Structure 1
Amino acid sequence: MLAGRSLTANGLSRGSAGNLSVREGDHLLMSPTGSDLGSLVAASLSVLDFEGNLLEGPRPSKEFPFHRAFYRRDRSTNAVVHVHSPAAMAVSCLEPWTEWSAIPPLTPYFVMRVGQTPLVPYADPGDPSQADWIEAIPFPLHAVLLQNHGAITVGRDLAEAVDTAVELEQVCDTLLRTAGLPKRLLSQETAVRLAGKYGRHWTLGQPAAVPPAHS
């Protein structure tokens, strides 16, 4: 699959780390557990229903629950990408900028292509409580960072979800390169305007309360 090869070529997926899925009607097609995203072919994907029952193919990734959470959040989401990319993983280990975005509005392209990106509290990989937390986030988004874990991005198709993951990795790299230095951020008003213009989201001021973190 082109999406998996693109993630590998851009350095976002190494070895068997990460997973991806697409929605097809009432079914999900997902990368199997332990698969190399750069070597995926359509015939090797796991086919599941929304209850998590395996209908065809090999055993899917144990992280199916948070993929399903994103499809439940927004009917326009047709693809989900999860990667353990180096910069995003590093930023996921830091304290978040705000409750609704772990990353500040550093660049216009981050705001235009990704938008606000909250940090989801830590849970063991595959823990369904993490999916519950994602589904309950009370503001719109196209990406999250999983604490001490990596990134998830979504899109209307796999190409959009991959492009969002690439842009998220780039802004995380910029954030790390500027650590400890005075930063010139885009104004909140500019971020809101740009995000809205390009179909993304940026919260102006304090959002509704996010679900409580769990240990």
Structure 2
Amino acid sequence: MIRVLLADDEALMRAGLTAILGTAGDIEVVAEAGDGRQAVDLALRHRPDLCLLDIRMPVLDGLRAAAELRRVLPEVAVVMLTTFSEDEYVTGALANGASGFLLKSGDPRELIIGIRAVAEGGAYLSPAIARRVITRLGAGPLGKQAVANTRVAELTVRERDVLALVGAGLSNAEIARRLHLVEGTVKGYVSQILTRLDLRNRVQAAILAYEAGLVPEQ
């Protein structure tokens, strides 16, 4: 069972998200928070597997809550809820260790898929915002691709294969099945990639894979 803490300042939104997650069968909302400070306090009390945070919240917004969770509970995954108008916040969430980004207005099935992917050690960016986020990370697409290709060039062929599948949002177990490897071996490859390319987490690795053209366009 994936234990989730849900934080959003709108009670109606929390109720809707809880109802959607309740249909999954393998996801349980163990606590709900109305602001970022309460989210951190409840996370310390309940120790969830994953925190689903709205970016805009009172007292402590989602960005600062994510940074605080990374400091006090680094083992807890963080997924951010955003809207099209909040692209500028997404890069900040990435810097603060978030492993997923989901649209509030997205397909309910995407919410479940994203939470499962992150809970299994993967990263997930809503396809609807992935390219918009990437565009904000550099001066221009061609320049970004050239830099990304240079960085990726230092990887082995197998490491590039793994990076491409990380970019596609696959978990370690899914990558292992796809490449006919042991899951522990995939975990080792991912760790090597993050270290060699000086990446903070799987989301940064996924974005680099997109920039380098390793992931087919959705």
TM-score by length of 2: 0.30
The structure with more helix, counted as a fraction of residues:
2
TM-score by length of 1: 0.30
Highest RCO, 1 vs 2 (Cα 8 Å, sep ≥ 6): 1
